[in-house]
Chains A and B, each alone.
Chain A
C-alpha cells in the first residue's frame, strides 16, 4: 500500500495529476490483474473475514472514497477494482470531502489526506488484510530489503518498545525458511540472507509459514503503510513500533525497482507453492474416487471426473426432457380423449427428443466394493466386485427392485477373495433412474451391510 502511494503513486500522480484517483486506479488495473487473481485465491483458501476490512482496503486503495461509504459491506471477492469504481461513482459526493484533492499533484498533501483518513480508519477497525494482499506480490516489506541495506530491526530502544512478534514475522519467516533443506536459490537470495544481520532475535518459527506469515505480512504491511504515511509528519496514532521502518523503507521504496524480481519472490514463492499444494488437495477432495496422492494422478482423476460429470449432466437433461414430453403427451391425451383422439402434434417433437440415445457410464469405489454402471438407452449393465463377506446377491437384487430395474441376467461367482457379478438389467418404462443414483445406492447398501455384519465371516 505504501509503495502504491509512496513509490509508484508519486510517479503516476505526477504524470496524470488531475484525477489522482483515476490514475491510481488505472495503475491498479494495469498491474494488478494478477494481483487480484492472487488475491482471489488467497481469499478463497485462507478464508479471510473481510467484511469491513475489505471495505477499508478497497477504500484505501481507491484513495479512501469508500471509507465514507459505510454501506459498502459488500465483501464479494469479485474484482475489487470494479467494486471500488462503483464506490467512486457513488461516492463522488464525498469528493469535496477531499478538500483540494483533485487539483493536487502533490503527493504530500495527498498523503496527508490519506493519512488522516487512514488513521481514522485504522482507529476504527483492525488490519485490512485485503489491502495488503493486493500489495502483496508486488512489494512486501521483505522485498523492500535490497541486498545491501542495513536495516536495524533490533534496536528499538531509542525508538519504541519491542514490537510484538507478528509485526516482523514476515521478515523472518522467509529468511528463516532458507535455513531449511537446501534448495536451489537464486544467488540474490543468498546474498540477501547473508546481508541481513543475524541478530534477529524475534521468534519466527518456520511452522508459521504460509497462513501465518501472510498474517504477519499483513500486519507488517499495515504498519509499514502507516509508517510510510508518517513521512508526512502528520500526527498519527498508529502503532509506534512501525516508525522504525519508516526511514529505512523510505529509501527502500525508491530502490525497489532496482532490487528486481527475485527478492520479492523469495517471500511469495513459498506461499505460492503452498497455495498450489492446497489447491491440488482441494481438487483431490472433490473427486469421488481418489487413487494416488501425487499431483499427476490427482489431475488425471479430475479429468475423468469432469468427463463423468458431463455425461451425467447430459443424461439427466435427457431424462428431464423425456419426462416432460411424456407428461405433456399424457396431458394432451387426456384432454383430447374428449376430442375423439386427434393425434397430438407433439409426437414428432417427442420423437426427436427421444431419438437421442441415452448413454452414460460411471464408476464408484468404496473400501470393499467397486461398482461400474453403464447405461445405454434403457439397458443398464452393472459390474460389481466385492470383498467376500456377505450374501450380496440378495441385497443387490433388492436394490435393483427398488430402483425399478428388471433383472435379465446375472452372472458371476466368487473368485478368490472377491465376489464378482455382472448384472444386465432393463429399466422399467417410466422410471427415471440415472447412472449416478444406481451407483450411489449400490455402494450405500453394500457399505451398510458390511458395517452390519460382524467381523467373523460367513461359512463359505
Chain B
C-alpha cells in the first residue's frame, strides 16, 4: 500500500510541482515530506470515515473501500427511489381536499380576534421608487398571485419581505416601476387595493 501511495502521489503532484529537481534533492524532499504526509493522512482519515459509514465491507484496502462505498451509495439511491415512488403512488390514491378551507376560515377568524386590519400603505421615496406595505388575510397561494399581479403590471419588487402572524400576512417591499415615469403613490395604493381584493 505504501508503495502505491507514494507512486500515486508522485503522479498526482507532477502537475503541481513538475519534475523534481535532483540538485537540491534533500531539501526538496524534506519540504515536501511533511506536506505530503499530511495530505496522505488526510486522505486516509477520510477513507476511514467512509469505511465506518458503509455497513458492508469486504476487504480493508483503499480500492475496496471506495468500491464498497460506490455499491452502498447506489444501493441507497435505489432505496430512495423505491420509497419515493411508493410515496407518490400512495399520495395519488388518497384524498385530501377539505383541509385548505379550514385554514382560511381560521385565518379570517383569528385576524378579527386580534384586531388586525387589512391595510395598504404606499410611500413615495424617490422618482419611481415606492415603499409598500400590505396587511392582508392569509390565504393559500395569495402571495404567489400577488407577485404575479405585480409582475404583470410592470412593477418590479426588490427587497421583499413577508411575515405572517395569526392569520394575517404582512408584505413589505420596494416597488420599482419598469417604466421611468413618475408614479403617484395614490394611484398605486388604489391599484394595490384592487389587486388584493381580487386575489
Contacts and interface: CB of A to CB of B under 8 A. Distances in A.
Most buried by B among A275, A408, A458: A408
Contact of B72 (A279, A306, A408, A430): A306
10 contacts: A279-B63, A286-B77, A295-B43, A299-B47, A299-B66, A309-B76, A323-B94, A411-B161, A414-B158, A434-B87
Nearest to A186: B3
Contact of B73 (A269, A286, A429): A286
A432 B90 contact: yes
B53 interface: yes
Interface string A295-326: 11001101101110110110011011001101
A406 B100 CA distance: 10
B46 A429 contact: no
Nearest to B73: A286
A432 to B, nearest CB: 5
B6 to A, nearest CB: 7
Interface of B is mostly: helix
B33 interface: no
Interface residues of B, number: 64
Contact of B7 (A41, A183, A295, A307): A183
A277 B90 CA distance: 42
A116 interface: no
Contacts of A193: none
A41 B63 contact: yes
A276 B84 contact: no
A296 B46 contact: yes
A316 B87 contact: yes
A323 B59 contact: no
B143 interface: yes
Contacts of A312: 80
B160 interface: yes
B144 to A, nearest CB: 4
Contacts of B87: 316, 319-320, 323, 432, 434
A410 B147 contact: no
A265 to B, nearest CB: 8
Contacts of B4: 269, 272-273, 276
Given A309-B76, A327-B90, A428-B99, A413 B141 contact: no
B181 to A, nearest CB: 14
A410 B72 CA distance: 38
B144 A398 contact: yes
